[in-house]
Every structure is written in C-alpha cells, then in structure tokens.
Structure 1
Amino acid sequence: MEQTQQSQETGKRTWDRTRLVWLGLISLTLLSAAVGESGRPSLVAIVIVCSVTLMKGRWIIQDFMGLRNAAPLTRRLVTGYFLAMTSMVGISLGYLQFTATQ
C-alpha cells in the first residue's frame, strides 16, 4: 500500500511539472507571436523571438522528449543540434534585416 501511495505522489508531481511547463510554453508562444506581429521586424524582435524559441526548445527537449534523465551524450547531441539550428536561423534573419536597412 505504501508503494502505491508513493507512486501516486510521484505521478502527481510529474503531472504538476508537465502542466506548469505546458502553461509556460503557451505563454512564451503568445509572447513571441505578439513580438513577431508587432510591426516591421527589427533586430530586437529577432533576438527576442530566438531567445523565446531557445527557452521553449530546452523545455521540450528535457520534459516532453524525456531527455532530462537520458544519457548525457544523447542529451548534449540533441540540445547542441537545436542550439546550432536556432542560432543559424537567428543569425541569418538578423543579417538579412541588417542589410535591408542599409
């Protein structure tokens, strides 16, 4: 019986964390949409949207893909790939925005 009660408490904590992360992801999505739709894109808007994307990606990788407790190599490879791709997109958009204003 004690095993079942402990299992229920662990499941409840996991559910609470999942719910909080989910609400955080929705909030960050609304923030990045508001910044992205606020008018003509600027370097500041690109940095904000890329930062929000990085935060969201980290949560998704750790909590929803289940890599929080995965082998360190796997977690680092997935996180590194995500950081590299997001950075390249952000730098490309920033460069295009910068050259368009020149």
Structure 2
Amino acid sequence: MIFREVENMLDLEQSAGYRRIFNKGIEKGIEKGIEKGMEKGRRETLRENVLRLLYRKFKKLPAPYVEKIRTLDEYALGMILDNIFEINSLSELEEYL
C-alpha cells in the first residue's frame, strides 16, 4: 500500500516538467524527421533530373548505368549535372559513376 502511494506521488507522466520535456522531445523528433524528409526529397529530385537529362542527351541508357546512378550520393549527382554538357559519350559518363 505504501508503494502504491509512492507510485502515485511519483507519477512522472502527470507532472508538468515531464510533459514539457516529453513535448520538447516530440518537437525535436518532428523537426529531425522533416529535415531528413527534405534531404531525401532533394536527393531524389537531383537523381531524377540527372536521369532525365541523360536520357534526353543519349536517348537510351543501359540499365546498369541507371542502377548505378540511383545509388550515387548528392555530390556525384551534382558533378554529373555540372558537367552534363562536357559528357559526350557513355564512356565519359563512366568517369562519374
């Protein structure tokens, strides 16, 4: 019985301090999730733009090239995008893959 009273007195979930800390944690988690989602969206947009421009430039892209492009990080995708006008053959594209 004493333990129940102590448990009731120490019911942290009901305390204002606990709720503030909990809500702050939720807010930070949401912010992190939004940031990660935006980062993923930027990477996907960059990837799709690179593929679209390469298809337009070369008309066809071999499947292994497409698969490799889908695994590239933002830096490598940006390098392809920055140099799209200098890449004149699939063998030149390989230098960026």
Which structure carries more helix by proportion?
A: 1
Scaled by the length of structure 1, the TM-score of the pair is 0.45
Computing the radius of gyration from Cα coordinates, the structure with the larger value is: 2
Scaled by the length of structure 2, the TM-score of the pair is 0.47
